[in-house]
A and B are shown apart, each in its own frame.
Chain A
Amino acid sequence: MNVLRIGNGRVIDPSQQMDQITDLWIRGARIVGVGPPPRLRPDAVIDATGQIVCPGLIDMHVHLREPGREEDETIATGTAAALAGGVTSVACMPNTEPALDSQAAAEFVILQAKRAGKANVFPVGAVTKGRLGQELAEIGGLVQGGAVAFSDDGSPVASAEIMRRALEYCRMFDKAVLSHAEDLDLTRGGVMNEGVVSTQLGLRGLPALAEEVMIYRDIELARLTGGRVHILHVSTAGGVELIRRGKERGIRVTGEACPHHFTLTDECLRTFDSNFKMAPPLRTQHDVAAILAGLKDGTLDVIATDHAPHAPEKKMRELDLAPNGVIGLETLLPICIRALIEPGILTWSQLIEKLTINPARVLGIDRGTLRPGAIADVTIIDPRAAWTVDPEKFESKSRNCPWAGQTVRGRATTVIVAGEIRWRWPVGRPGSAGSGL
């Protein structure tokens, strides 16, 4: 088995409270450990001086669109985008066509991911058959097919009764239900956050309350059932507070924030650019501040992109007809660095925790750690590398990126999946000693 030494990097692994300059050793597909190992001779060496070496990043909220909407993204292009962003594992949401609501569908996704040979893909199964909100999907079969969590994301589970039964039933498999919190009665016809800007622009609003009443409902259902609920894409100050209180009461709830929700506000809609349209919508500066505070105090456990590709011909149109969502895999790191590291809101350890071991725990997957014996998914980050966001150069099939044209800092330079180097940046860079792999 090949032995790889990643030399002299700043190894950060929050799963072991590790943050030190050292060597990381990989043998075959597994982590050996850090430090100078006594008997191993490396077959290849990557010099990581000045760089961060951490567990491969996990983005637990990604839409890969396959099957059914391959014009927007495929499992191959979406996982290539993941690697380009430093992400070695994605959990993909089940709002495909057809929905991922059967064992066969989950197995298809995993097979396609293997064929693509890029990042790992962990399917999220639908809570209800066809994501129609009427009756539970075959959750047991989905678990056998490889589903790691359950969600009707894209839509809420509108019925409190069905959400209750889903939380109860998933306890049998110790799987979390991922809640897309939205009261559809309150958001019907809405295009953007309801508030000052929507009123001035004459655009229909989605009130923050529509999200908060459902977060409240789902936290209380988790309390009632003892189930585990993860609140996806929290966008409101009230939502952060509800999760904070829920955790204080010992309820099994975790929370997730997306980079666009803690960096952009509804003021962006004054451009009428549909690349600022998503659900939940961009909110206000008050909400951004609350999400940042929630990330800082640990209320929000996970950072995920809600990578939502839409082909340009669908996205570039009238605001109310354009679909919701933005892509985020390839901008995840630099946006987090700018919004969280540079202002001192999170330490590197805290940021990496929310991008590795925390989502791994929510999903119950054996990733997100550099412990000896773990599968060797590793991301090496140059935190100072400056580059300009140009969606035309993205690996993703879609271009709906709200940060286009911005100069940013921070980039994954080497991405390793199960001991294999799958991505290097700059693209085409001669592989130094690592090229032998």
Chain B
Amino acid sequence: MSAWNHRHLLGLEDLSREEILTILDRADAYAREPEGPPRPVLKGKVVVQLFFEPSTRTRISFGRAARRLGADTIDFTVSGSSVSKGESFIDTARNIEAMGADLIVVRHSTPGTPHLLAKHLRCGVVNAGDGAHEHPTQGLLDILTIRRKKGHIEGLTVGLVGDIAHSRVARSNIHGLRKLGARLIVCGPPTLVPQYLTTLGVEIAYHLDAILPQCDVINVLRIQFERQRSGLFPSIHEYAHLFGMNRERLALAKPDLLLLAPGPINRGVELTPEVADGPHSAILEQVSNGVAVRMAVLELLAQAREA
């Protein structure tokens, strides 16, 4: 347990290179034996999943991770209407903490909400996505997948393609991968790729075909229809034409290109089915690595709280 003393995981921006490596190494061990013997390091602990936004795979993945470590889990999904009933989300969270939660995994459409909970609650907080800000466990599982496939991160060129402006996955990928020494190119139409992103140490490109030959990894981000104002690009058809990954485009890439997609994907928009299911794609490995990453995160946070 070399480098870890955080009681919350709010974002990869807050972590050092060593701390990220600590999580990845622990997660790698779990990923190597997905059917390994139970490790009840969270026995007697209660992990609550508090989701103010819909989620399928992240919620199931955290639940699976918590149970494999022996924790009790409670799922609490708050529909949009509960907010309009007037209960503040802080009150909701305090109520849930009072049920004995040790760790709260929270997803919310507003950036900074996990930070607000960390300030107001005594239990540990894991950010499972806050608006367009961060989604640290998704970033970590993308990085773990790259490391397991490529053997290293340093020196790789990673392209993030699509709706960078509204993507929390993009921000967590950028913070994590930059700290581990990758070169990052973000690519999409200027309406979805804010110029200020260069302050995070990434390059900006608007033409996918031009950057494809340089990339070792392409991470295809979903169009966040639910977070966008309308009118940021003319049509889905034009977007797919300019930025969709299809077989013709793949021919421009390095033969060992690794293709990631944090999902859920809009098939036929960001990726054609033949590419999504083809040999470059690691989409399903990402999902299984996700459980390993979340086991590592929950374990490290629980241990930091005992210490």
- Identify the A interface with B (CB < 8 A): 188-189, 195-196, 198-203, 271-272, 313, 316-321
Contact = CB atoms under 8 A, between A and B. Distances in A.
A204 to B, nearest CB: 8
Contact of B111 (A316, A317, A319, A321): A319
Interface stretch (B56-64, B192-200, B272-280): B192-200
B148 interface: no
Contacts of A189: 229
B95 interface: no
B115 interface: yes
B49 interface: no
A196 B132 CA distance: 14
B229 A320 contact: no
Given A272-B111, A317-B90, 17 more contacts: A188-B229, A189-B229, A196-B196, A199-B197, A200-B200, A201-B111, A202-B130, A203-B111, A203-B131, A203-B132, A272-B116, A316-B88, A317-B88, A317-B89, A320-B110, A320-B131, A321-B110
Contact of B113 (A199, A313, A316, A318): A318
A199 B115 contact: no
9 smallest A-B Cβ distances: which pairs? Answer: A272-B112, A202-B132, A202-B133, A318-B110, A199-B196, A196-B196, A202-B111, A199-B194, A196-B199
Interface in B238-279: none
B222 interface: no
Contact of B199 (A188, A199, A271): A199
Interface residues of B, number: 28
Nearest to A203: B111
6 contacts: A199-B196, A202-B168, A313-B88, A318-B108, A319-B112, A321-B110
Contacts of A318: 89, 108, 110, 112-113, 116
Contacts of A317: 88-90
B134 interface: yes
Interface in B143-197: 165-166, 168, 171, 194, 196-197
B133 A201 contact: yes
A202 B229 contact: no
Contacts of A271: 115
A200 B171 contact: yes
B15 to A, nearest CB: 15
Contacts of B112: 201, 203, 272, 318-319
B110 A200 contact: no
Interface string B83-122: 1000011100000000000000000111111011000000
A193 B108 CA distance: 21
Contact of B110 (A188, A198, A316, A319): A319
A200 B108 CA distance: 17
Contacts of A195: 196
Contacts of B131: 202-203, 320
B171 A202 contact: yes
A147 B128 CA distance: 52
A200 B167 CA distance: 11
A270 to B, nearest CB: 9
A416 to B, nearest CB: 42
B118 to A, nearest CB: 10
A271 B115 CA distance: 8
Contacts of A196: 196, 199
Nearest to B116: A272
B123 to A, nearest CB: 19
A196 B171 CA distance: 13
A318 B113 CA distance: 6
Interface string B186-225: 0000000010110110000000000000000000000000
Most chain B beta-carbon neighbours within 10 Å: one of A188, A196, A202: A202
A13 B148 CA distance: 74
